[in-house]
Amino acid sequence: MKEGAGSPAQLFRLRGASCAGCVNKIERALQQVPGVAEARVNLADKTLSVRGSVSADTCIRAIENAGYGAELATVSERELREQQRAADRAHYRDLLWRSGLALGLGLPLMIWGLVTGEMSVHSLGQQLAWGLVGLATLAVLVYCGGHYFTGAWKAFRHHNASMDTLIALGTGTAWAFSSLVVVAPQLLPEVARHVYFEASAMIIGLINLGQALELRARGKTSAAVEKLLSLQETKARVLRDGEDVDVPVDAVQPGDRLRVRPGEKIPVDGRVVEGDSLVDESMLSGEPLPVRKTAGDALSAGTLNKNGSLLFVAEKVGAETRLAQIIEMVKRAQNSRVPIARLADRIAAVFVPVVMIVAVLAALAWFNWGPEPKVAHMLVVATAVLIIACPCALGLATPMSVMVGVGLGAEHGVLVRNGKALQQAGKLNVLVVDKTGTLTEGAPRVTDLQADGDERELLRLLAGLEQASEHPLAAAIVAAARERGINPGEVQDFESITAHGVSGTVDGRAVLLGNGKLMQRKNIDIDRWRETAETLAAQGRTVMFAAVDGEAAGLIAVADPLREDAKLAIQRLKKLGLEIQMLTGDNRAAAEAVAAQLGIDRVYADLLPEDKARIVGDLQADRRLVGMVGDGINDAPALARAEVGFAIGAGTDVAIETGDITLMRSSLHGVADAIELSRATLRNIKQNLFGAFIYNTLGIPIAAGVLYPLTGSLLSPVIAGGAMALSSLTVVSNANRLRLFKPSEVTV
């Protein structure tokens, strides 16, 4: 094999190729290009597939030199989905047509049997008439159910047995027995000369109908991914040589400069170079309010530019964009296995051969101990057992619910990494929450300012002083001044006094800012501010005293404000039965004040970053199931250690990589949503599994005839076929019911 032949193929759409001669010419032209390992033209759809280490442009040039036109054919995920839906629609119509045809034959035959009761062969005339019906049924079996037979045969050759095996065996046995009755009735006792052609046709018709309806219902299970895919833009406007050029989004390279106009979607991830606009990011972050974007701000593919024009430079394209990664994660999670399904998986693996054995045993039991006509009874029970057993319901029970559950999570801004995380989230009993950035906004702000005289003047002096400091609290004071339109003063002789505060001269005035100890050290009387300071500290705020020219001038309090919705979210989580514990590097007094405000059960304060994972481990040693909520950056080890790590990071790449569950919205409500969703999905899976187990464990014995002593009749294989078709449809429909899930609400 040539080097590069195993590499993925590049596909080109050809122009001007119309005959076998063109095919040879194009293929020869490509084969002369260095790096091409293989070039194949498909004349039917006018495409060229090239393998090897060669650029698309080189290939296109070679094709153009050969006298034809070509362009790189890129099939986006969205196009693939659309093609899939089109294929599904065609398959749906095909199944309905086949079903109609089979039922068109089976139904009149069944009515004839019910009305006249004449389904037996006792004369030459009946032999001929039923012989014709037998041939018609054979045609129906081949045309409407041929795929079951080829599927069963192929599976058989591979030592596999599938649903096709059961359908083919059931309908084939009924047809073969009936044909034997028609061809050689003398081989069978008179009472057993009954034909079952109607059963074969009806079963094939009902199963095709069930599959058609199931196909419809299944389409809805992937609605969430389709919604995400629809966010992807197909075209982008790139700046080339000073002009705007529309190109397919796949052709955008990192570093390209792109323009988006009002009302357009951002095509790739990038950073604004020029312009000012509001961008609706709700589809990715869950934040309902549009965000203002100006030069230097990051843009995400799939978000909507509202009112201004933006020029930005592409940073991440194709599969690298955040949206593409989210879609990929959702798709992967939708197909991951849930631990609860292991039993069903084990049963499904041996289900069909076991059902075949049960069918043989049931037939033997009727042969040995059943009443006459034994042969007919044997046939009815064997067929009914084969047909009623439904491995599909069992196999579909979990994947369908997981698909809907994971997709639904994505719609609510909850990205679940895999089925295991989805299952475990519902079982958690302790939730450990990192305070900064999770319960609080993660950006300290000035909350209180009190002064003996002019507050604005005091703030101007303090901001001037703090301009020289690198402390996060200093940044809050400078920001507060700027917000109020105050220009900070000029500082000289700045000094930072470790663990106490700062001092300096601002516009010729000696300014001091720090804690009580600093004031004491400088002999400044702060008695009149002490009470206010204590009240503020009890509310979790960091209080600093200010002195100007050796006299107490006021105080300033800084706090990392609590997120507005933190309290309600904690209430929701507690209602869900979780104990909430808070981790923070802050001092105990401030931490406890926050905990008291929010109703948090336990607080770990004065922590170093490495302590967090240890605390999670200690809780686990106590046999607690621990969920950890953090920002995904500082808390990665603790997130990884917990049973379920919830990464809050407004959907940053880091959060997507570290969390078992990533919350697109920076809110604890996302955790509550995830837990409720997990419980709802698990409930749905259990309903499905229970339904499938019960259906099979009740259905198979009934089909085998255990109720015969009570009812005096056997289950008709036609009813078995209907029940089977209905069972998998029920599972898919029940999974779709999960789409009605709504997160709970707590009001104050």
Partner 1 sequence: MSLLVNLSGLALIAAIVWWFQLLKRSPAADKAAEAAALIVVRDGIYEPGCIRVAAGRETELRFLREDPSPCAEYVVFADLDISAQLAVGRETAVSLPPLTAGEYEFTCQMRMYRGTLVVT
State phi, psi for 630 to the nearest 5 degrees. -150, 180
Site for partner 1 in 162-221 (CB under 8 A): 162-164, 211, 214-215, 218
Q: Which stretch binds partner 1 (CB under 8 A): 131-139, 343-351, 478-486, 671-679?
A: 343-351
Pairing of strands 10-15, 69-72: antiparallel
Distance CA 559, CA 538 (A): 12
Picking from 277, 276, 237, 275, the residue whose alpha carbon sits closest to that of residue 257 is 237
- In the bound state with partner 1, the residue whose beta carbon lies nearer, of 108 and 339, is 339
Stretch of 5-13, 444-452, 605-613, 697-705 lying at the interface with partner 1 (CB under 8 A) = 5-13
CB nearer partner 1, residue 339 or residue 453: 339
Q: Distance (Å, rounded) from C-alpha 325 to C-alpha 317?
A: 11
Residue 706: CB minimum distance to partner 1, A: 19
Spatial distance between the Cα atoms of 388 and 149, rounded to a whole number of angstroms = 17
User: Given candidates 61, 220, 235, 337, which one binds partner 1 under the rule CB under 8 A?
Assistant: 337
H-state helical runs in 222-295: 223-229, 282-285
- Please work out the total of residues on this chain that contact partner 1, with binding judged by CB under 8 A: 59
- CA distance readout (Å), 293 to 264, 271, 280: 14, 9, 10
Among 201, 266, 304, 356, binds partner 1 (CB under 8 A): 356
Query: DSSP letters of 487-522?
Result: PP--EEEEEEETTTEEEEEETTEEEEEE-HHHHHHT
Quickly tell me which residue has 């086949």 as its tokens: 98
Length of the chain: 748
Nearer Cβ to partner 1 (154/683)? 154
> What residues contact residue 58 under an 8 Å CB cut-off, 6+ apart?
33, 35
Task: Say which of 164, 256, 269, 434 is annotated catalytic.
Answer: 434
CB of 736 to partner 1, least distance (A): 14
Footprint (CB under 8 A) of partner 1, residues 359-398: 360-361, 363-364, 367-368, 391-392, 395-396
**Strand 551-559 to 579-583 pairing:** unpaired
* Stretch of 185-193, 354-362, 564-572, 596-604 lying at the interface with partner 1 (CB under 8 A): 354-362
The per-residue DSSP string of 366-386 comes to: HHHHPPSSHHHHHHHHHHHHH
- In whole angstroms, the minimum distance from the beta carbon of 360 to partner 1 comes to 5
Count other Cβ atoms within 10 Å, centred on residue 181.
Answer: 27
631 contacts partner 1 (rule: CB under 8 A): no
Find where tokens 């951002």 sit. Answer: 266
Asked if residues 695 and 444 have their Cβ atoms less than 8 Å apart, the reply is no
Q: Which of 31, 74, 127, 160 binds partner 1 (CB under 8 A)?
A: 160
Give whichever of 399 and 699 is closer to partner 1, judged by the CB atom: 399
Is residue 434 annotated as part of the catalytic site, yes or no? yes
φ/ψ (deg, to 5) at 652: -75, 160
**Is 146 or 743 the residue whose CB approaches partner 1 more closely?**
146
87 binds partner 1 (CB under 8 A): yes
Site for partner 1 contains 91 (CB under 8 A):
yes
Q: Which is nearer to partner 1, 408 or 518 (CB)?
A: 408
Q: Report how far residue 559's alpha carbon sits from residue 570's, in angstroms, rounded to the nearest whole number.
A: 20
Which residues, numbered 455-474, are part of the site for partner 1 (CB under 8 A)? none
726 binds partner 1 (CB under 8 A): no
Residues that bind partner 1 (CB under 8 A): 1, 5-6, 8-9, 75, 80, 83-84, 87-88, 90-91, 94, 147, 150-156, 158-164, 211, 214-215, 218, 331-332, 334-337, 345, 348-350, 352-353, 356-357, 360-361, 363-364, 367-368, 391-392, 395-396, 399, 418
By annotation, the residues acting in catalysis are: 434
